[in-house]
Structure 1
Amino acid sequence: MENLTETMPGLAERLAERLAHAISSGDLLAGSRLPTEQALCDQYGVSRTVVREAISMLKHDELVVSRQGSGTYVSQQPKVALRLSPPLGNLQSVSEILEIRSALEVKAAELAAQRCDRARLRRIRNALEELEDAVERGEEGVHEDLAFHRAIVAATGNEHFLATIDFLHRLLHQAIQVTRRNEARHPPFMRQVEDEHRALLDAIASGDAEAARNAASLHLANAERRLRLAQGAPDDG
């Protein structure tokens, strides 16, 4: 059985932290151009995928910006971002992130069902279609999965809610990567996830707040249950 630790995206996280430290310490000056992807690959002994993911994290923290046709540069006034420790790679750690998601996303689904207008609903539908397309292409769909759930939070119309989710972006991204990699190894799990996402969308579209709340709660509880089953841990559910 594959160890959960081996599925964690730790390389990208560590590279992002190294580059963020270089920026905060002044080794990479404000306004300076980052080394090329290949140079970073050679320097840190990682793949281009890892480099791109790490740079994506830095962009989200507004530490770097991209200039089309020119490269990636340290922001002129890089922010000192609050750092959240990544999941440790064990079942307990990821389960704790799922608890945070449940506290936020179950209420978000309820509010989305009550407040969602046509434009917001269309964005949720589009996000789910993009996720399904990514799966069809054989991709993990981590970014798309996160975008789907973020679209539901955005549909609440509560900007503070959305800001909270965005602050937790890296934490949620890594936990979703763990759950999706686990589910991708078990086709029945993938079908369950697709059905749960559809049920959540349908409940929001119908304006049924209770059904949306229940669908979100079930989806997140099942995500933990699927992890436990895959790891051979006792099923608490």
Structure 2
Amino acid sequence: GKNFAYQNMATIKAYFDKDTHTNNFIGAGGNGVAVDDFNADNFDHGPHGFVGGSPMWVNQAGSRPIAGTSNPPGTPAWGSAWKRATADYYTHQVSMDAHGAHQSYRGNYLDLDPVYRDAYGLPLLRMTFDWQENDIKMNRFMVEKMGKIAEAMSPKAIAVLGKKVGDHFNTASYQTTHLNGGAIMGTHPKTSALNRYLQSWDVHNVFVPGASAFPQGLGYNPTGLVAALTYWSARAIREQYLKNPGPLVQA
């Protein structure tokens, strides 16, 4: 269960007058535009005191009835004032996101719960997790960069949803569901759960495709790489394993 990682997300929303139309209800799934200058090793991390990075993007995915409703800071959460603000800003706002990389730490891991069990008497999966100093520094850095873009648009109001020093992980706040790690791939069974073909070191007929094989969280969502690794694993199963079942990598 080691190397369990999340994504380190921050969001800035800019709200405009009624003569600026963003038409958030129009979208195409993952359609959008990204700035990659501060992702991975695309910049010098030295002066900033953290490793990792993040793309910044505006993802015009199409607005949902409730989740797509966002109003400026200070707007009541319900009632007539909320309704007026929603009418004023529904098609006059832009949301920018940072989906930051997340490093692996010894203190973040998955294991079997010693107390709680499911309906079959099997132990439940337990997650031990919290944000670390590196995560918060990177998140605040990305908020600063996105904030400059938002301010350059001259909006009426800006909402900042980022991490503060001392913040802890909160399961009540949606932070994307692109989890990574927990059953990582590697070169030796003492340091990893899977070999390079996503085959279990311990049970040779068990293959585990998915982002659980990644050693840490990525700046981008892992779907493309998950698909590529799955094809890689499936080819090894078809061309090697089925002909001679057993470990595909010798420890």
Instruction: Give TM class, smaller chain.
Output: under 0.3
Q: Larger % of helix: which?
A: 1
TM value normalised by structure 2: 0.23
- Which gives a bigger RCO, structure 1 or 2 (Cα 8 Å, sep 6+)? 2
TM value normalised by structure 1: 0.24
Q: Larger % of strand: which?
A: 2
